[in-house]
Copies of this chain bind each other. A is one copy, B any other.
Amino acid sequence: MELSIFNILDILGTIAFAISGALAAMDRRLDLFGIFIVAFVTASGGGTLRDILIGDTPVNWMQNTIYIYLIGVVTVLAIIFRNKINYLKKSLFLFDTIGLGVFTITGVEIGVRSGLDPIISIALGAMTGTFGGVLRDILCNEIPVIFRKEIYATACIVGGLVFVIMHSLGAKLDVIYVTTALIIIGIRLVVVKYHISLPYYYISEKP
């Protein structure tokens, strides 16, 4: 694994998602091992789903040991600094958004590289970006937050769309990565700052 911009972003994303998983697990008062599991699942779940759907096995974290060590270290640090991290929720939010952006990009790129249809590649990217958080919430027995708050996955989809368009126009990969990541991060920052949310619908009880 060489250290390209891509890999650096990937590692940042893994760290951010691992922290978010560890925080959720401590919030649920899980024990040491439970915290590690939730951190691991949150950080590696998206990439694992991506690799399984595409048939690229053994999955990525089984081939690069760096992820398991990284998540272990992050878990320990998250436990030690748990009350401080809580204050740092804003920077956590930023890291989480970086992770969302980067993991989305890995999914879209692998889809495009595998010759899949652009819209399928975008769906794969959105799943890669969001599935870790969904698993985290299922393990913690809550309705996945992705369904409740902010335009979380929508940012992935818009970013994925830009990725696919730039790619079909022949833009350089590095440029695509940075642009797409900035778009996803930007959308999420704006959405949360201005409390924008998608409309929701419900079935009227007395028609």
Q: Per DSSP, are chain A's interface residues mostly helix, strand or loop, or mixed? A: helix
> In this complex, what residue of B is CB-closest to A87?
B207
C-alpha spacing A201/B83, complex, angstroms = 10
B116 A58 Cβ-Cβ under 8 A: yes
Q: Which residue of the partner chain, among B25, B58, B87, contacts A53 with CB atoms under 8 Å?
A: B58
Distance from A137 Cβ to chain B, minimum over Cβ atoms (Å): 9
Please state the number of chain copies in the assembly.
Answer: 3
> In this complex, what residue of B is CB-closest to A117?
B65
Q: Which residue of the partner chain, among B62, B79, B141, B197, contacts A31 with CB atoms under 8 Å?
A: B197
Q: Which residue of the partner chain, among B65, B139, B153, B199, contacts A119 with CB atoms under 8 Å?
A: B65
Question: Which residues between 161 and 207 of chain A lie within 8 Å of chain B, taking CB atoms?
Answer: 197-204, 207
- Which residues of A does B touch, CB under 8 Å? 23, 25-35, 37-38, 48, 52-55, 57-59, 61-63, 65, 68-69, 79, 82-83, 86-87, 111, 114, 116-117, 119-120, 123-124, 134, 138-144, 146-148, 151, 153-154, 197-204, 207
Q: Can you list 16 A-B pairs, Cβ within 8 angstroms, ordered by A? A: A30-B147, A32-B198, A33-B153, A33-B154, A34-B200, A38-B147, A53-B62, A54-B62, A68-B119, A68-B120, A69-B119, A82-B201, A83-B203, A134-B139, A140-B143, A141-B143
